[in-house]
Structure 1
Amino acid sequence: MRPESTAIVTGGARGIGQSICVELARRGASVVVADLDTDEMAETKEMVEETGRRCEPIETNVGSSEDVEETVEWVVDEFGSVEYLVNNAGIAGPTASCENVSTDDWEQTLAVNLKGPFQMCREVVPHMRAESFGRIVNIASVTGKRPLPNRTPYAASKMGVIGFTRTLAAEVGDANINVNAVCPGSVDGPRIRRVFERQAAETGRDYEEIRGDVEREAARGELVDSEDVADLVGYLCSEHSERITGQDINVSAGKVMY
């Protein structure tokens, strides 16, 4: 990564986002953690600073245009530039059949998962253009490529992230800005466990049975670790990925192969 560079990671307080913050710091970037969970951001800050890099948490709702504008303005004022942006903030949305999804739940899911990355990119890209350099990684999902019954808002949002990634990459490539999407499969951790619990409640099935079904869908028969995703994000922000842009790359233990 570029020396004295700055990365913004949304949703960096826990899980995949926390692992990404630590990985980018290990590679040499100062990290701004943009999240709503101020308590858990403190833990991420401590982990990043153990690498010797600077970390600044900032409370941000990516679904709010005002919050996003203020966050990016603060980062540029404080650090001088933004070389790397990882749009990781996301929510699972409701677990329900389409006819039982409320409009409010639909809009909230898309506000965070799709509107959020759009707003962050809209504010960051002009600064990257000014420096003739930028690397943007959007965390999508294999659910943006295949059906996931009873999760229509989530699936729609993640498919939208992939389309947004490809189009933005075409728009900004001439400014030496790469835009890629990472599509994790089922990542082990509290969030996926809550999803399994809701599915168990919805269907009346056993939690372990649902988890086992998901694991068996992958060629390796297992869930993904958050560090697997962070490793790929780090690579896409490195000098080794100079001509990789507009791609949606799976980290799914073989759950999806297209």
Structure 2
Amino acid sequence: MGRLDGKVAIITGGAGNLGKTAAEKFLNEGAKVSLVDMDKSKLEQVQKELSDENVLIIEANVTKEEDVKNYVDQTVNKFGSVDVFFNNAGIIGEVGPIDQQSLENFNKVLSINAMGIFLGMKHVIPVMKKQQYGSIINTSSVDGLRGSPNMAPYATAKHAVVGLTKTASLEVAENNVRVNSIHPAPVSGDMMKTVHQGQSASQGNEDEQVQEEITKGIPLGHYADSKNIANLVLFLASDESEFITGAEYRVDGGMGAAG
């Protein structure tokens, strides 16, 4: 039997590397999966690559409440339940010091990275309460547990995810619903390319130099791969983690141990 046999999962940010990797793992373990993203063409490409009849793709903006309600409703109508919610959609935004950050960028990053998390839980939790079962995994970051120069909007939003996670975990524990946050180190992919470019412009260094400096702060000596993060998500989605809630899970190559 698969670790998620009979389970239904929603993954936001489903067209990204981590969303796709998590979907592959969920499907391999017996789940049915709804993939949610703003980019319809990328969603269609991921659906094609996954080539599985148990995948539903839904175009949605996680900052619009009607879109969020719709992706939850569509999932329940198609598959009958929502047992796992990987609340994962997020962006980096502009990179630069606070006194050069625009209010527009600050609001955009918080809207997607924090309000999107809130709205997702707002509409998934009633389904899970009715079922008296569920696992919610909210994507934060190592930057949700520390300061991060030139990343104020991102770090602020990711800190907010921690507060939302802990609060929700206390509110729904009596309903057998678990809520945890994950805190990845830098992950190879497009989001870190944005960070490299922004830090390069701010510091006057080449992208490669920025990556080298960031890597020096990771005791294991390299960026994470999306599969490293998805392995943790799968554990938290499964009943193997049935007595874990309100927790912050680092998957950071030792960054937390280094201070």
TM score, norm. by length of structure 1: 0.96
Residue aligning to 1:214: 214
Residue aligning to 1:197: 197
Percent of aligned pairs with the same residue? 33
Residue aligning to 2:71: 71
Q: Please state whether the residue corresponding to 1:188 is helix, strand or coil.
A: coil
For residues 225 and 147 of structure 1, what CA distance do their matches in structure 2 show? 23
For residues 234 and 157 of structure 1, what CA distance do their matches in structure 2 show? 24
**Code of the aligned partner of 1:198:** G
- Whether the 8 Å contact between 2:180 and 2:248 is mirrored in structure 1 is yes
Residue aligning to 1:178: 178
- 1:32-81 CA-to-partner distances (Å, cap 9, x unmatched) read 010011121123213433xx551011001001111111111121122111
**Code of the aligned partner of 1:6:** V
Residue aligning to 2:83: 83
Whether 1:158 and 2:158 are equivalent positions in the alignment is: yes
Shift of 1:17: 1.4
Gaps of 5+ in 2: none
Question: How large is the RMSD of aligned CA atoms in angstroms?
Answer: 1.3
Residue aligning to 2:20: 18
**Code of the aligned partner of 2:160:** G
Residue aligning to 1:135: 135
Q: Please state whether the residue corresponding to 1:31 is helix, strand or coil.
A: strand
- Whether the 8 Å contact between 1:22 and 1:47 is mirrored in structure 2 is no
User: Which ranges of 4 or more aligned residues in structure 1 deviate by more than 3 Å?
Assistant: none
For residues 41 and 252 of structure 2, what CA distance do their matches in structure 1 show? 30
For residues 99 and 4 of structure 1, what CA distance do their matches in structure 2 show? 50
**Code of the aligned partner of 1:36:** M
- Whether the 8 Å contact between 1:178 and 1:245 is mirrored in structure 2 is yes
- Whether the 8 Å contact between 2:4 and 2:26 is mirrored in structure 1 is no
**Code of the aligned partner of 2:23:** C
* 1:247-258 superposed matches below 5 A: 247-257=247-257
For residues 194 and 94 of structure 2, what CA distance do their matches in structure 1 show? 11
Count of residues in Structure 1 that have an aligned counterpart in Structure 2:
256
* 1:94-173 superposed matches below 5 A: 94-173=94-173
- Whether the 8 Å contact between 2:114 and 2:161 is mirrored in structure 1 is yes
Residue aligning to 2:245: 245
For residues 171 and 61 of structure 1, what CA distance do their matches in structure 2 show? 26
Shift of 1:237: 0.9
Residue aligning to 2:48: 46
- 1:187-206 CA-to-partner distances (Å, cap 9, x unmatched) read 01121012101211222112
Residue aligning to 2:39: 37
- Whether the 8 Å contact between 2:92 and 2:194 is mirrored in structure 1 is no
TM score, norm. by length of structure 2: 0.95
Gaps of 5+ in 1: none
